Amino acid sequence: MSADPVKKLHTFMKKLPALGEETTPAYRSSHALDPIVAELVRAFFIWEAGLQAAERALAGVESATADYNELRVCLPHELEQMVGRGDKHLAERSLRLRSVLNDIYRREHELTLVHLATLPKREARAYLDALDGMPAFVSARVCLLAIGAHTVPVDARVVAALAEQEAIPAELESSPHAECASWLEHHIRAEESVAFHLRMERMLDADRPATPARKSAGAKPKTGTRSPKAPKTPRRRAQA
């Protein structure tokens, strides 16, 4: 019989890379009206890709656009021209990001989420979760880092790393990611959740093989898995 996954989780947490001085790296961008939107866009590029890939993608996006409003109408092949090849989730990422940004604009009449800082954390999370096309990982990361809610962002990378360590129950390996996140939130204290997430991201990036420089000009779009077919109606949730 395998060891208690809760014990394995806490043992694993002790082995994660240290953070050093920076523990709450708030993201700021001149392309966004407020830091919550900035963190949302950043989280979209981190989802299923990692920090290094997100930094490269954001650099490409911000050099090719005036602000994040342009992403509201950006198609997958246009995004690929900005960020380059190599993102197997690019089609889904592009359509979901476009859908979420348009839903925010429809609700707020501008691309801002500043009002979420004035809401109770539970209501802010419900607002983000309800946005059309929102992946659970992105919603959770925005809530954790930009709003201060107790969440644990989970995508396939996180599940695979925890499963390898037997640090989650076996049934959660193939369950919706939201179920794994809920289990982790139950066993990781609120005051530990930011450090856990950032240390996990550091570990996942360290384990990710280096990728060569990618060409973007004239690139033929590569579609990702489970890519929505309609440009304005992606599935409402990511595998969560």
pTM for this entry = 0.84
Q: Which of 153, 188, 213 is nearest to 5 (CA)?
A: 188
Q: How far apart (Å, rounded) are the C-alpha atoms in residues 183 and 6?
A: 10
Tokens of 80: 């690929």
Residue 237's pLDDT is 44
Residue 23's pLDDT is 52
Tokens of 92: 């889904």
Where are the chain's structural domains?
A: 5-18+30-207
Asked whether the beta carbons of 133 and 95 are under 8 A apart, the reply is yes
Tokens of 211: 């990728």
Pick the CATH number of 5-18+30-207 from 3.40.190.10, 3.40.47.10, 3.30.70.3270, 1.10.340.30: 1.10.340.30
Tokens of 7: 């014990």
Q: How far apart (Å, rounded) are the C-alpha atoms in residues 236 and 54?
A: 22
Q: What angle do CA 151, 185, 96 make, to 5 degrees?
A: 40
Residue 101's pLDDT is 97
Q: What angle do CA 222, 227, 231 make, to 5 degrees?
A: 95
Chain centroid to Cα 224, Å, comes to 16
Q: What is the pLDDT along the chain (240 residues), one digit of tens a residue?
A: 357 999 999 999 999 998 876 555 567 788 998 999 999 999 999 999 999 999 999 999 999 999 999 999 999 999 999 998 889 999 999 999 999 999 999 999 999 999 999 999 999 999 999 999 999 999 999 999 999 999 999 999 999 999 999 999 999 999 999 999 999 999 999 999 999 999 999 999 987 654 443 443 333 333 333 334 344 444 444 454
